[in-house]
């Protein structure tokens, strides 16, 4: 063979090899804030989430997925590091994993270090103080809502009487007035709710979604695969959404089931969170009108979020990335809307700790399937690393769910899902298997037969017939506690 012929042959082979070499998949990670399983793909009939239905039709839904701590900061520190809260050291919203477990590499940082262009918009890490910045992201943005019309009206009246709100002499008075105007609407305590008067694109979640759409169109990642994280703020309080979404859920059509007034007589007192008081409720008592209004607002927020997700799914298809992008949708934890007379989070009942969780991984996942395997949010990091063809870091405490994507009928590697929550200096614990949930608190225990009592209203921990089962759960819990703290350093 002549030299130039050999060179041409080698070049052709190289080109063919490059053309057939499979590019690493892109990743789109969508995480909502405070979203429970009140969405239609999880069988909740009282709400419209058509975009999530579209995604579910091409995904595997994990119907027994649980957070490891039902509060934003600890949950996010846990799933972004692939570690249990006892190993991260983050057991409240005030602690930063970078102080508690120095040198921990987060999931986005790991993808960035392995050749991905990484970007986030919205709430991914808990807040701006805990944001990991350039070490994790090539680009990260947090938007705010546009000024609400009620604030605009108050500001214009204020300025007509006293001059600009930016004048040093006016700043404190304006801050106080603005706070007063927003109480009950855009406040954390009491939790606000209501029609925002803004359009979709004026809300920060509308801005978040449109930023993802922009990235998909403009492709700032260049030749690199992308890892985009969309942190959706809603339905976190305040339950604000554009007016049209409230119109979908008339308050007189809201459906819920009241609990019996003596429910808490058989439950450990420390199993409850006292947040219900801030919402205007009492333990053991319902306020029908107020409950309906809060539920209406929560559902309006979810349908608003669903509409923004639809924009992204459409943009993925239009950009040509539908078949080379892994999509994960989940929430940081669940949420009480009067269940067990509780409101908000910080609870280990299933409504507080269970999350919607689905994965669409082209070439791996079985479309429209559901899995009953016990799944934890710490499985996110190892699963995405595995699907991307990266080495899964050995210290991660989660399991890759890749095998379950093609065999969703399998129950996987895990026998139990495990969650914790702080009660003062102590922790409350929950273990769940396919049939039972066990709870351990400083002042007592819980045991529920989920096959007969899926909503956890009959505590069997005091039943002598369950003494053997309780002993088995206690032994399992001790082993799990030791394992969960094994990566603490």
d(CA 126, CA 110): 18
Q: 420-452 pLDDT, tens per residue?
A: 999 999 999 999 999 999 999 999 999 999 999
CB of 306 within 8 A of CB of 51? yes
pLDDT of residue 300: 98
CB of 89 within 8 A of CB of 95? yes
Label the pairing between strands 26-32 and 226-232: parallel
CA-nearest of 42, 104, 51 to 76 is 104
Q: 102-139 pLDDT, tens per residue?
A: 999 999 999 999 999 999 999 999 999 999 999 999 99
State which H helix or E strand residue 143 sits in: none
CB of 378 within 8 A of CB of 420? no
pLDDT of residue 438: 98
Confidence of residue 2 (pLDDT cuts 50, 70, 90): low
Domain boundaries defined on the chain: 27-148+185-484
pLDDT of residue 20: 39
Lowest-pLDDT choice from 9-18, 75-84, 475-484: 9-18
Alpha helices in 163-203, H assignment, sequence order:
171-182
Confidence of residue 210 (pLDDT cuts 50, 70, 90): very high
Q: Find all residues with CB under 8 Å of 99, minimum gap 6, and list them.
A: none
CA-nearest of 333, 191, 345, 187 to 273 is 345
Average pLDDT (58-76) is 98
Largest CA distance in the chain: 92
pLDDT of residue 17: 43
Q: 338-392 pLDDT, tens per residue?
A: 999 999 999 999 999 999 999 999 999 999 999 999 999 999 999 999 999 999 9
Give how far the C-alpha of residue 410 lies from the chain's centroid of Cα atoms, to the nearest Å.
24
Neighbouring C-alpha atoms within 13 Å toward the C-beta of 103: 4
pLDDT of residue 3: 52
Neighbouring C-alpha atoms within 13 Å toward the C-beta of 448: 23
Q: 163-206 pLDDT, tens per residue?
A: 999 999 999 999 999 999 999 999 999 999 999 999 999 999 99
How many CB atoms lie under 10 A from the CB of residue 470?
17
Whether pLDDT at 149 is above 90: yes
Q: 239-290 pLDDT, tens per residue?
A: 999 999 999 999 999 999 999 999 999 999 999 999 999 999 999 999 999 9
d(CA 392, CA 386): 6
CB of 417 within 8 A of CB of 239? no
pLDDT of residue 18: 40
Please give the span between the terminal C-alpha atoms of the chain, in angstroms, as a whole number.
62
Residue 179 phi/psi, 5° resolution? -60, -40
Which residues face 429 on adjacent strands?
A: 420, 440
pLDDT of residue 14: 46
Give how far the C-alpha of residue 116 lies from the chain's centroid of Cα atoms, to the nearest Å.
23
Helices 288-318 and 204-218: crossing angle in degrees, nearest 10, is 10
State which H helix or E strand residue 418 sits in: strand 417-423
- Look up residue 303 and give its two tokens: 């349908």
Q: 5-28 pLDDT, tens per residue?
A: 545 454 444 444 443 357 899 999
What fold is seen in the domain 27-148+185-484? Alkaline Phosphatase, subunit A (3.40.720)
């Amino acid at each position: 063979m002549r030299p130039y012929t050999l060179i041409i042959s080698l070049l052709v082979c190289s080109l063919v090899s490059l053309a057939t070499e499979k590019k690493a998949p892109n990743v789109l990670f969508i995480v909502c804030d405070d979203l429970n399983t009140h969405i239609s793909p999880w069988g909740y009939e009282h709400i419209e989430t058509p975009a999530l239905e579209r995604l579910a039709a091409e995904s595997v839904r994990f119907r027994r997925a649980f957070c490891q701590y039902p509060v934003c900061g600890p949950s996010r520190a846990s799933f972004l590091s692939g570690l249990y809260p006892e190993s991260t050291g983050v057991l409240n919203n005030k602690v930063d994993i970078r102080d508690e477990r120095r040198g921990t590499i987060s999931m986005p940082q790991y993808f960035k270090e392995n050749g991905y262009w990484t970007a986030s918009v919205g709430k991914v890490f808990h807040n701006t103080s805990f944001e990991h910045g350039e070490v994790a992201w090539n680009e990260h943005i947090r938007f705010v809502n546009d000024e609400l019309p009620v604030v605009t009206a108050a500001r214009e009246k204020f300025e007509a009487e006293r001059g600009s709100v930016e004048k040093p002499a006016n700043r404190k008075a304006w801050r106080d007035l603005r706070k007063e105007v927003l109480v009950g609407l855009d406040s954390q305590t009491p939790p606000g709710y209501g029609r925002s008067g803004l359009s979709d694109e004026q809300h920060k979640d509308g801005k978040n979604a449109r930023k993802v759409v922009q990235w998909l169109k403009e492709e700032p990642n260049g030749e690199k695969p992308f890892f985009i994280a969309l942190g959706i703020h809603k339905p976190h309080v305040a339950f604000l959404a554009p007016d049209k979404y409230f119109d979908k859920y008339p308050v007189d059509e809201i459906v819920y089931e009241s609990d019996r007034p003596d429910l808490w007589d058989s439950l450990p007192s420390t199993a409850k969170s006292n947040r219900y008081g801030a919402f205007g409720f009492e333990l053991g008592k319902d306020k029908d009108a107020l409950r309906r209004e809060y539920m209406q607002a929560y559902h309006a927020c979810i349908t608003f979020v669903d509409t923004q997700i639809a924009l992204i799914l459409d943009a993925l298809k239009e950009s040509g990335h539908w078949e080379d992008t892994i999509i994960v949708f989940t929430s940081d934890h669940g949420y009480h809307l009067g269940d067990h007379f509780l409101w908000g989070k910080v609870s280990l009942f299933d409504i507080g700790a269970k999350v919607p969780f689905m994965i669409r991984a082209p070439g791996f996942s079985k479309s429209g399937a559901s899995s009953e395997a016990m799944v934890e949010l710490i499985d996110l990091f190892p699963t995405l690393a595995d699907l991307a063809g990266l080495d899964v870091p050995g210290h991660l405490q989660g399991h890759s769910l890749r095998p379950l994507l093609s065999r969703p009928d399998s129950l996987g590697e895990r026998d139990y899902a495990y969650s914790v929550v702080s009660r003062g200096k102590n922790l409350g614990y929950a273990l769940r298997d396919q049939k039972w949930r066990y709870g351990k608190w400083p002042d007592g225990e819980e045991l529920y037969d989920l096959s007969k009592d899926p909503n956890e209203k009959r505590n069997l921990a005091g039943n002598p017939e369950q003494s053997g089962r309780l002993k088995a759960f206690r032994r399992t819990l001790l082993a799990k506690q030791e394992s969960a703290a094994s990566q603490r350093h």
